[in-house]
Amino acid sequence: MVKKSVFLIIATVILAGIIAIAINAYIHHHHNHHNNHHTPTTPTTPLDDFPSNASLYLRSNGYSFIATLLHISPDLFLSTPESTIFAIPDSAMSNLSIPPYMTVQLITYHTLPNKFTFQDLLNKPLNTCFVTMFQGQKVSITRKDAKTGSLEVNNVLVTHPDMFLHEKVAIHGVNGPFASFKFHQEINELPICYKNISDGNSTIASVGSINSRLDLIKLRGEFKMLVKYLTQSGYAPFAFGLFNVLDGIVKDHPDLHTMTIFAPPVVEVMEMPSNVVNKFMRSHIVPKKHSFKHLASLPQGASIKSLCPGKEVEITSSVVGSLEDELLSINRVAITAPDLLVSKSFVVHGIAQAFPMDGVSKAVSL
């Protein structure tokens, strides 16, 4: 057990050192690109010893990865006059598998451009949002209890409040990352804040209203990231069509929270009239998430209603033998890339070609 702990510490320090090279390049680009948003400042004299002192304290409390980054690349955390840092423990960092550039995104998403002590955070209303240093993305106070002194940000518990305080900087230890960063899909599932709640200065709507708006905003956000992913994965024409019908789908299906999308690689979207594009795209989307394993378990002839009225998708060929054979077709079109993308709201299957426009005439309720 001791050997494992020592190995973890050494590994995190080495990894952080390697990542620091990428971080320095990122910081240079980030400062130049966002100069109009945050003016980089050189730490004043009282901050000169801050990185070393804070790093020593972080390392002794199980935050070696963050400690190393703070020591090697302090500008990543101190590019604004004040900062609040939510430190992720080594135990959580070791479970992440992301490249250097996404590590930078992860760290900046856990850094605020203002100083907030733990008491400052407790004094904020529930659902207060704070802009982070990552592309204007926000984090939110999702739970708090002033009596017990507990607080959660993005549903992650603050385990070490006021772990290290400085005149201009506050560091709090948290139980894990505030968001899921998936490298193999290059898509970030960032919790979305209610846009009318910011730093406790706005009127807070009812919890039900907030949750409803959050679901809608989050779905839109995931939809746009989905379009980007499909574009980069060889499904650009279909992604273009999906982007064009996004607003209409969200408007017409306010209670739609999860869905399955069948994406063909080649679609002549530009040649279709707008009303045909709308029907065509919706005929490739069905409510609820249906994994390849689930679809393969359905009997041949079973069908599911799509988002296009009167159109369904039908299981026309069932899997024979093991699932590894991937012998499954929908509307007589083979699924060539099962479970291409899986997120909280979507399952995407790549298919050999587009579904015929005439669809399926009869549906079985599933």
First-to-last CA distance in the chain?
49
How big is the chain by its Cα radius of gyration, in Å?
Answer: 24
Residue 83's region, left for phi above 0, alpha for psi from -120 to 50, else beta, is beta
Structure-token pair, residue 255: 């209670």
**Per-residue pLDDT, 193:** 55
**Per-residue pLDDT, 240:** 82
In the chain, which residues have pLDDT < 50? 1-15, 18-46, 183-188, 195-214, 322-324, 359-366
Structure-token pair, residue 89: 């423990």
Domains, the chain, ordered by start: 2-189 (2.30.180.10), 234-351 (2.30.180.10)
**Per-residue pLDDT, 104:** 79
Cα–Cα distance measured from residue 253 to residue 216, given in angstroms and rounded to the nearest whole number: 10
E strand residue ranges, 76-195: 83-87, 111-112, 129-131, 138-145, 150-153, 156-165, 169-174, 180-182, 187-189
**Per-residue pLDDT, 202:** 35
Dihedral pair phi/psi, residue 240, rounded to 5°: -60, -45
**Per-residue pLDDT, 289:** 93
Burial 89-99 (b: 16+ CB within 10 A, else e): bbebbeebebe
pTM score, whole prediction: 0.49
Cα–Cα distance measured from residue 301 to residue 32, given in angstroms and rounded to the nearest whole number: 58
**Per-residue pLDDT, 130:** 92
- 59: which DSSP letter? H
**Per-residue pLDDT, 349:** 94
* Residue whose tokens read 């900087």: 169
**Per-residue pLDDT, 272:** 75
**Per-residue pLDDT, 219:** 61
**Per-residue pLDDT, 260:** 95
Please check whether residue 121 is in contact with residue 129, taking contact to mean a CB–CB distance below 8 angstroms.
no
**Per-residue pLDDT, 44:** 37
Helix (H) or strand (E) holding 347: strand 346-351
Number of C-alpha atoms within 13 angstroms, CB side, residue 156?
22
**Per-residue pLDDT, 39:** 33
